[in-house]
Amino acid sequence: MLAFIARRLVVSVLVFLAATVVVFLMAVNVGDPLAEARQLPSGPAQESAIAEITERMNLDEPVYIRYFLWLGGVLTGDLGVTATGHSVNAMLENAVGATLQLVLGATVLSIVIGISIGVISALRQYSGLDLSVTFAAFLFYSLPVFWVGTLLKQFVAIDLNNWLADPTLALWVIGLVALFVALFCASLVVGDRRTRLTTFAVGFLGMVALLWALSETGWFADPGLGVFVIAVTAIAGAVGFTTLFSGLDWNSPVMRAAMTAAVAGIVCALVLDPVLADPNLATIGLLALITAAVCFAFGWVIGGELYRRSAIQAAMWTGLFTGALIFVDRMLQSFASYSEMKGGRPVSTIGAGTPNFEGTFWQSGLDSVGHLALPTLALMLISLATYTRYTRASMLEVMNQDYVRTARAKGLPERAVVTRHSLRNGLIPITTLTAYDIGTVMGGAVVTETVFGWRAMGRMLLDGIQNGDPGPIMAFFLVAGGAIVVFNMIADITYGFLDPRIRQA
């Protein structure tokens, strides 16, 4: 495995070097960096301007010398200067954070949501849900990012902000949302027509009541979950994860382990209140690690010899789920104060963050979310559709395999057949897709940033291309191409990890 990784690493570095040569050759030919200087009235001023730029960009050297000068600079951490003499390092430092946040956020969300929807869609093949998901995937796949981005910016952001001034829902909105939720629930349950109708009715009425209550109490202006809702949801989560990992059984040690994890999580949320008032990222990470470790111990002890594996899984998932609930609750509770700081218009349409923003951890978090939500949504659509379609196809293929039939013939419950046999095999080809997709998302980010007026890597690249300036173009490529190479590596390693045939080759 190590040799496999090392070999891949060497090849990737060589391929990446070759790609820098290709991009460099194009970048130095894409335009004339002297164009502006040439427009000056001829005379000594023009000559000195031309000479200065020539000197700065080594334009009198042959291209291959310039490449090696650039490469030498990169290896010592110096990305060179632009035609106007600005440091590319400084430009990149300002730009890279926002872009990577956008790209990674969109990628991770697309992978998680896309794979989940794809799996569900495959498990309910030819159901109403499956057909709608397939059609939606086609539609998303066909949408131009800039068109969707502009629509989101103009309507969602502005209309949402207007609505938040008086956040009540019209009855028809409540009805429509409830209808969709109920249809979704009904298509998830297995069973005859009556079970489905019951699910639909319960889902619809429950949703209508919930939305009406939220709307009437002005919850949307000052949201939050509260201890009671967190507790109920955490316990529901415990039941859900237990069912997923070992089947629904109220008295099994697995259920007890998951319940313990949920209850411990709720108690901790109350005890840790002062710590959670204004934490930092490290604290949150540490808490997550502690949660995982403690839940692992719960599972180990409570599960005993017979149920250890599923108890650990159920307890850890329940614990992290409860943690996430508490996290979201804190974030929501800060919404009212954040909204006030932003003058009642929390959803932003311009830029990657409010300049010079000062606030608690939660308020800064909301500021990022407020700025990132719409661009991420626009950027996600295509990737989401891709992941959904590929996952669905891959799962359908795997579920027809002989070894899945073997698993059923052993007498495994369908739940275990899917989680233990279909899922892992079905996800193997998806790893390769992530490597492919990241390049598309990087390109999409350039377009999205343009739509939302970010001054990030997209702007840097476009300015570079328009001014015939290789420095920023190459800086963009170092990050974007680097991301592609890194994702390829991760995909290869994950592939090897998931598939013993590759690992041992």
Partner 1 sequence: MSTNSDPFGGSGIGGTGDTSTGVHTGMTLADLDPPLDDEILRVENLTVEFPTDDGVVKAVRGVDYTVRSGEVLGIVGESGSGKSVSSMAIMGLLPRNARVRGRIVYRGKDLLAMREKERRGLRGEKIAMIFQDPMTSLNPVQTIGDQLAEAVLSHHLVPRKRAFARAREMLDLVGIPRAAERLRSYPHEFSGGMRQRVMIAMAIINDPDVIIADEPTTALDVTVQAQILEKLLEVKDAVNAAIVMITHDLGVIAGMAHRVLVMYAGRPVELGDVDVVFNQPRMPYMAGLLGSLPSLDATRHERLRPIEGTPPSLINVPPGCPFSPRCPIADDSACLTVEPDPAPTDRNDHVAACHHWGKLAQADDPTAFFRQESERAR
Partner 2 sequence: MSDVDTTRTRAQAATDAAQGMGVEARSQAQLVLRRFLRHKGAVAGLIGLGAIVVLAMSSIGFGPIPGWWPKDFATTGTLVNEGRPTLSVWPSFLGGPGFQIGEHPFGQDNVGRDYFALTMRGAQVSLIIAFIVGIVATFVGTVIGAVAGYFRGKAEASLMRLTDVVITIPTLLFAGLVAVMWGQQGIVVLGLVLGLVTWTPTARLIRGEVLSIREKEFVTAARSFGASSVRIITKHVLPNTVGIIIVSVTLAIATAIILESALSFLGLGVQPPDTSLGRIISDYQNALTVRPWLFYWPGLFIIGIVLSVNFIGDGLRDAFDPRQNRVRD
Residues that bind partner 2 (CB under 8 A): 11, 14-16, 18-19, 22-23, 26-27, 29-31, 138-139, 141-147, 150-151, 154, 396-397, 400, 436, 439-440, 442-444, 446-447, 450, 461-462, 465-466, 473, 476-477, 480-481, 484-485
Q: Which does 278 bind (CB under 5 to 8 A by kind): partner 2, partner 1, none?
A: none
Shortest distance (Å) from residue 122 CB to partner 2: 11
Shortest distance (Å) from residue 187 CB to partner 2: 20
What does the DSSP assignment read for 79-147?
--B-TTS-BHHHHHHHHHHHHHHHHHHHHHHHHHHHHHHHHHHHHTTTSHHHHHHHHHHHHHHTS-HHH
Sort 312 into a burial class: Cβ within 10 Å, 0-12 / 13-18 / 19+.
Answer: buried
Work out whether 196 is an interface residue with partner 1 (CB under 8 A): no
Work out whether 413 is an interface residue with partner 1 (CB under 8 A): yes
Q: Which does 124 bind (CB under 5 to 8 A by kind): partner 1, partner 2, none?
A: none
Q: Which does 425 bind (CB under 5 to 8 A by kind): partner 1, partner 2, none?
A: partner 1
Shortest distance (Å) from residue 459 CB to partner 2: 11
199: tokens are 């699910």
Work out whether 7 is an interface residue with partner 1 (CB under 8 A): no
Q: Can you tell me whether residue 323 is helix, strand or coil?
A: helix
Work out whether 500 is an interface residue with partner 1 (CB under 8 A): yes
Residues 174-177: contacts with CB within 8 Å, 24+ apart? 174/207, 174/208, 174/211, 174/212, 174/215, 175/208, 177/207, 177/211
Spatial distance between the Cα atoms of 216 and 209, rounded to a whole number of angstroms: 11
Q: Which does 38 bind (CB under 5 to 8 A by kind): partner 1, partner 2, none?
A: none
DSSP state of 453: T
Toward partner 2, which CB reaches closer, 134 or 243? 134
Shortest distance (Å) from residue 368 CB to partner 2: 24
Q: What part of residues 80-99 is at the interface with partner 1 (CB under 8 A)? A: none
Shortest distance (Å) from residue 305 CB to partner 1: 4
Toward partner 1, which CB reaches closer, 192 or 402? 402
Q: Quick one: which segment of 28-36, 364-372, 384-392, 496-504 binds partner 1 (CB under 8 A)?
A: 496-504
Task: Provide Rg for the chain, Cα atoms.
Answer: 27
Work out whether 135 is an interface residue with partner 1 (CB under 8 A): no
462: tokens are 């476009």
Toward partner 2, which CB reaches closer, 84 or 142? 142
Other CB atoms within a 10 A radius of the CB of residue 205 amount to: 12
Toward partner 1, which CB reaches closer, 85 or 413? 413
Q: Quick one: which segment of 17-25, 173-181, 306-314, 356-364 binds partner 1 (CB under 8 A)?
A: 306-314
Spatial distance between the Cα atoms of 208 and 200, rounded to a whole number of angstroms: 12
Angle at which helices 88-123 and 361-399 cross, to 10° = 50
Q: Is-contact 198 150, C-beta < 8 A?
A: no
x/- mask, partner 1, residues 388-407, rule CB under 8 A, reads: -------------xxx-xxx
Spatial distance between the Cα atoms of 410 and 404, rounded to a whole number of angstroms: 10
264: tokens are 């411990």
Toward partner 1, which CB reaches closer, 257 or 445? 257
Q: Which residue has the tokens 């809702």?
A: 229
Work out whether 342 is an interface residue with partner 1 (CB under 8 A): no
Shortest distance (Å) from residue 351 CB to partner 2: 17
Spatial distance between the Cα atoms of 354 and 373, rounded to a whole number of angstroms: 14
Q: Which does 447 bind (CB under 5 to 8 A by kind): partner 1, partner 2, none?
A: partner 2
What's the chain's length in residues?
A: 505
Q: Which residue has the tokens 């795997």?
A: 398
Shortest distance (Å) from residue 319 CB to partner 1: 23
What does the DSSP assignment read for 416-448?
HIIIIIIHHHHHHHHHHHHHHHHHHHHHHHHHH
Q: Which of 144, 224, 214, 149 is nearest to 177 (CA)?
A: 214
Q: Which of 230, 438, 420 is nearest to 333 (CA)?
A: 230
Toward partner 2, which CB reaches closer, 70 or 477? 477
Work out whether 411 is an interface residue with partner 1 (CB under 8 A): yes
Q: What part of residues 421-440 is at the interface with partner 1 (CB under 8 A)? A: 421, 424-425, 428
Shortest distance (Å) from residue 247 CB to partner 2: 30
Shortest distance (Å) from residue 266 CB to partner 2: 46
User: Can you tell me which of 274, 305, 343, 356 binds partner 1, judged by CB under 8 A?
Assistant: 305
Spatial distance between the Cα atoms of 361 and 473, rounded to a whole number of angstroms: 35
The footprint of partner 1 (CB under 8 A) covers 305-306, 308-309, 401-403, 405-413, 416, 420-421, 424-425, 428, 498-501, 504
